[in-house]
Structure 1
């Protein structure tokens, strides 16, 4: 989940970036010190989440949030401010969250659980007599056969008895279907390839490209 930090104070930007760095689902892509710079970075970096201050010189966070919301309907805005009395104005422009300084890890964890219910989810699997768990955000590929679903994740692979259809419906922000028997991690998609009628998707962290159906390829081309 790509995010951008907007605050006129460098120390505040570094602090929120340090806290957010503890969450693997979040990927820092840039920081801005004012509204104009933020608008330019949102346009070029395409973050999915923006953490922004309210009290800034020039364009304040409320005006910036209104602009970003009007031009990026799916962008999630989270205000980070020392002034809780501004919360109502923030939510009037459909802010996704509101954190009051000084921010701590528990606040961020609660916010992420609210915004992305599947972000901290875990799936259970068994190795011999041992029960183990894998974080859903770490799963790169899930493929099914007639009986089981084979998942591949950072550090290994496992068999689980959860159907692909359920994985896709339970974690729609994480997975996208690329074939009738395969789903992959959306955020890991690097590019699409097509050669002599064979379509594939290249994933970050995966050596071999994954085959894509004709229908899925047409759909993915409109997004990636």
Structure 2
């Protein structure tokens, strides 16, 4: 491991917290920044400490570990969630709240080692994505009307798919191409583009407003365009994380 991993342990049983803390302290990059003996206190600690990962019991009075995990999904920075519990029957529910792993008490050192490997891999992928930087002079090549047109990604406002063509909209022009939107999304990786809907890709630097629509869905208004672009409700939380400080 090559980074300090801020960690919070949440369990109403002191012995379980001590055992897990003892095992985790063998990993030199683990930094246990807080402990909590309830889901409510755990939520408070996560909001205050902003850890990279939490180890949380499932069966706790008042707020269970599953309820805590659901509440964490509303935060801007959601830590990796590792459930540590004596009840193996909750595994399916655990992964439905986006848990990274599931440890069963009493803790097995080999299993914990595998969990630590998953944590390292997941945090490493997140860092690589964050550190991606496109070439400053790179431009998108578009086959348009029998020619190859080079467009700076910064000039693209949004992209959308209509029937069998993809439309690339800039302030002054709309280019049509046969290139699938998924392929364009991959080419534009590293630039501030976001898939708001299966048929729309938006330059986040061009977003002016986020407008509630219906059933939890939204629309975004972008610069220089009257058209409002749909945002599927499954993407709203991530979009806000990308847009807001």
Q: TM-score if structure 2 supplies the norm length?
A: 0.48
Query: Aligned residues, how many?
Result: 133
Asked whether the equivalents of residues 34 and 57 of structure 1 are also in contact (C-alpha less than 8 Å), the reply is yes
* 1:80 equivalent among 78, 84, 93: 84
User: Within the alignment, does 1:42 sit opposite 2:46 as a pair?
Assistant: yes
State the shift of 1:170 in Å: 8.5
| Structure 2, unaligned runs of 5 or more | 133-245
User: Within the alignment, does 1:109 sit opposite 2:113 as a pair?
Assistant: yes
User: Within the alignment, does 1:29 sit opposite 2:46 as a pair?
Assistant: no
Matches within 5 A, 1:169-188: 172=127
Asked whether the equivalents of residues 19 and 104 of structure 1 are also in contact (C-alpha less than 8 Å), the reply is no
What SS does the corresponding residue of 1:71 show, helix, strand or coil? Answer: coil
Based on CA coordinates, which of the two structures has the bigger radius of gyration?
Answer: 2
State the shift of 1:39 in Å: 1.1
Matches within 5 A, 1:1-224: 1-117=5-121, 172=127
Rounded Cα–Cα distance in structure 1 between residues aligned with 2:31 and 2:109: 16
Rounded Cα–Cα distance in structure 1 between residues aligned with 2:70 and 2:125: 31
- Relative to structure 1, the CA distance from residue 105 to residue 72 in structure 2 (aligned partners, 3 Å threshold; closer, same or farther) is farther
| Structure 1, unaligned runs of 5 or more | 120-168, 178-224
Q: TM-score if structure 1 supplies the norm length?
A: 0.53
RMSD over aligned Cα, in angstroms?
3.1
State the shift of 1:46 in Å: 1.0
